[in-house]
Structure 1
Amino acid sequence: MRIAFYAPLKSPNHSVASGDRQMARMLVKALEHGGHSVELASELRFYLREPEPQSFDALKIEAREEAARLTRLWERDGKPDLWFCYHPYYKAPDLIGPELASTFAVPYVTAEASYSRRRNAGLWADTQALVVQAVEQAALNICFTQRDRQGLADAIPQVALHMLSPFIDTSVFHEMPARGCPTRLVAVAMMRPGDKVESYRMLAQALGQIGHLPWTMSVVGDGPARDDVKALFAGFAAERIEWLGAIDPAAVPDVLYGGGIYVWPGYGEAYGVAYLEAQAAGLPVVAQDIAGVPEVVRDGQTGFLTPPHDVAAFASAIERLLARKDERTIMAEEARRFILEERSLDVAAAHLAELLPKISVS
């Protein structure tokens, strides 16, 4: 099948690393793994940071121009067999695919579409209406989390919804090197205002409660809030925390292998690709039972999910894994098994291969 792939929030080729970019790349890989030919339909980034009508109007003009370009291309070279849109939501609706798919009688598919009634105010109500139209048109809507599935089901009854668990390419984790330092904590996250800073804040507060223990920590990440994040950890001795900054994604596994426990509170995480990678490397996770984190971490089996906003519970979970070697080892082994056997590219590709042949034009 020839598939036109589009990610309005962030192209797979975007220069800035993020979970969105990584999952877009993983979906392309999974589709190709299933024998499909995948072409990036457009790199237009349709993203509204704030509900500004002027910005929205400007982006709509760009979207129309891009749709006209693709129309000419398809008329000349032939249309694709499928339009696959990754992660349309209120700040990044798909303004290209639905109309093209309808005009050319091409099946339309979404993955990780989301809808939240609390966003229905002002311009966001208009952009969410566009998401609703796309989801209603789609022959298939692939959901990565039960939270997203429920949001779509509640708002748009009788649409075609199917689950696909979040996954990663586990090939780089198949070889297990010698275990790293068991008291080495690891966190991998961008440094930007909002949920990321709040997670760093909670992490700093929790570590402050277990300063008597002999832990060290490696932090991978950078961003506009770098100074604010580092200020949160100013009370710790310099030798305790290694700030690695933004590193090549290919280097992240080595950092994970060098650690013993993955720690990240997870405010606002859709699910968190980094949690999957950490577990694939054999690191048990300490996170909050919040947002989409329970979709990728099994509480009590591959790590601990603590009550939201409870700093003391988060600190206690880290302390428990630092102190109990046997429990930490069991969780590490189960975390690695869970990802390699259940959340791999091969598993996702097989699931997609079952779903896609069943679709038709809505």
Structure 2
Amino acid sequence: MRIAFYAPMKPLDSPVPSGDRAVGRLIVRALEMAGHEVIQPSRLRLWLKEGSHDALAEKERLADSEAERLLADFARHRAPDLWLTYHLYHKAPDWLGSRIANALGIPYVAIEASRAAKRRTGDWAYGFAAVDTMLEQADMVVASHRLDARGLAAVVPEERLTILPPFIDAATFEVTGPRLLERGEPIRLLTVAMMRAGDKTASYRVLAEALERIRDLDWRLTVVGDGEMRDEIMGWFDPVRTAWVGQLDAAGVTAQYAQADLFVWPAVREAYGLVFLEAQASGLPVVAGDANGVPDIVYEGETGFLAVSGDAESFAKALRLALSDRKHLARMGAQARESVSGRHDIQAASRKLDAILRKAQDIHTKRITGSCRKLPAS
């Protein structure tokens, strides 16, 4: 299939590193691995940081203008066979793809969609209502985890709703051998996250407070990340026990995974956290906050330990438990690697994604045929 891939939240060539950009690029790779031709027809960003009726309506007008341009282009050149929108929710309604798919009469698929019912009223109401219409139009709606799927089930029929678990290319995270956590050496903790205001800063605050509660244990922390909140955040951590290495490229981050013993991140209000999969693929067990989809990729007692999201005391207890048995921690690291390879690797995700798109085609055909049957005879 020729697939139009569109990310209303942020274009895939954005210079700003983020989890959503990384996931979007992985989805494109998975599509290409399945033999599909992927085009990215527009860089129009429909995402808003702050919601209001007027601001959202202006984004809709921009999408209308862009849709006219693209439809004219598709009339001259080959049009896509299917439109795939990545990250559909109230802050980034897809007025562009939904209009084009309807005009071309092609299947419309929304991947990593979510629906927060509390946004039905208030500043985001216009975007929430628009997304509900798009979910109704979609031939398949794909959630990333069970919590999002439950929210979507209120408006999306079971036949058109599925879950595609988060995935990575596990082969890029090599493990040279089992970790040997010898007594007498500090356990090497690692965290990888940008230092932005908001949820990232909140997570760093929880981590700093939790580590303060386990000062009696033998550990060292390495922090990979940078951003406008760096000076404030780094002031919360013990400078003797903490090494800050700044922002690194992919190879540099992979090297840090290989040198650590335990990955730690509170994940306050995060969707799921791609870094948890990367760390586990590298053979690292994880201590994480149990926000949203994190329990779908960090398996309590098997590949890591979960704490109450945003609770520093709960996170400290999980850290203490993790650090209490070095041999068990090493075994969990091996299980974490196997878990990602078996459950969250791009190879399996590519096959499942291909099956989802094939099903969307079938549903689209049935919906069109059903609509045609309802038309009165001429």
Same fold (TM > 0.5):
yes
For the 8 Å contact 2:287–2:304, the answer to whether it is kept is yes
Other-structure match for 2:374: none
Q: For 2:210, what is the secondary structure of its paired residue?
A: helix
For the 8 Å contact 1:136–1:159, the answer to whether it is kept is no
State the number of aligned residues: 359
Residues 73 and 99 of structure 1: CA distance in aligned 2, closer, same or farther (over 3 Å): same
Amino-acid identity (%): 42
Picking from 195, 199, 219, the partner of 1:191 is: 195
Residues 263 and 155 of structure 1: CA distance in aligned 2, closer, same or farther (over 3 Å): same
Q: For 1:141, what is the secondary structure of its paired residue?
A: strand
In 2, Cα distance between the equivalents of 1:180 and 1:46? Answer: 48
Q: How does 1:1-12 map to 2 (within 5 A)?
A: 1-12=1-12
Q: Aligned partner of 2:305: which letter?
A: F
Question: Please, which moves more after superposition, 211-220 or 314-323?
Answer: 314-323
Other-structure match for 1:166: 166
Q: For 1:327, what is the secondary structure of its paired residue?
A: helix
Residues 315 and 123 of structure 1: CA distance in aligned 2, closer, same or farther (over 3 Å): closer
In 2, Cα distance between the equivalents of 1:310 and 1:143? Answer: 27
1:281-330 alpha-carbon deviations (Å, 9 max, x no partner): 11110012222210110000000012334423321322232231111011
1:37-61 alpha-carbon deviations (Å, 9 max, x no partner): 0111211111111114443344233
Aligned-pair CA distance for 1:6: 0.3
For the 8 Å contact 1:8–1:88, the answer to whether it is kept is yes
Query: What is the TM-score with the length of structure 2 in the denominator?
Result: 0.90
Contiguous gaps of at least 5 residues in structure 1: none
Aligned-pair CA distance for 1:211: 1.3
Contiguous gaps of at least 5 residues in structure 2: 368-378
Other-structure match for 1:34: 34
For the 8 Å contact 2:135–2:155, the answer to whether it is kept is no
* 2:147 paired with 1:136: no
Tell me which structure has the larger Cα radius of gyration.
Answer: 2
For the 8 Å contact 2:31–2:38, the answer to whether it is kept is yes
In 1, Cα distance between the equivalents of 2:138 and 2:203? Answer: 35
In 2, Cα distance between the equivalents of 1:132 and 1:52? Answer: 17
In 1, Cα distance between the equivalents of 2:228 and 2:67? Answer: 33
Q: For 2:84, what is the secondary structure of its paired residue?
A: strand
Question: Please, which moves more after superposition, 288-297 or 202-211?
Answer: 288-297
For the 8 Å contact 2:298–2:304, the answer to whether it is kept is yes
Picking from 217, 225, 228, the partner of 1:224 is: 228
In 1, Cα distance between the equivalents of 2:55 and 2:245? Answer: 36
Aligned-pair CA distance for 1:175: 4.7
Q: For 1:243, what is the secondary structure of its paired residue?
A: strand
Q: Aligned partner of 1:12: which letter?
A: L
Other-structure match for 2:255: 254
Other-structure match for 2:85: 85
Picking from 191, 206, 211, the partner of 2:210 is: 206
Query: What is the TM-score with the length of structure 1 in the denominator?
Result: 0.94
For the 8 Å contact 1:179–1:257, the answer to whether it is kept is no
For the 8 Å contact 1:71–1:100, the answer to whether it is kept is yes
For the 8 Å contact 1:267–1:291, the answer to whether it is kept is no
Q: How does 1:279-294 map to 2 (within 5 A)?
A: 279-294=280-295
Q: For 2:95, what is the secondary structure of its paired residue?
A: coil
Q: For 2:61, what is the secondary structure of its paired residue?
A: helix
In 1, Cα distance between the equivalents of 2:226 and 2:180? Answer: 24
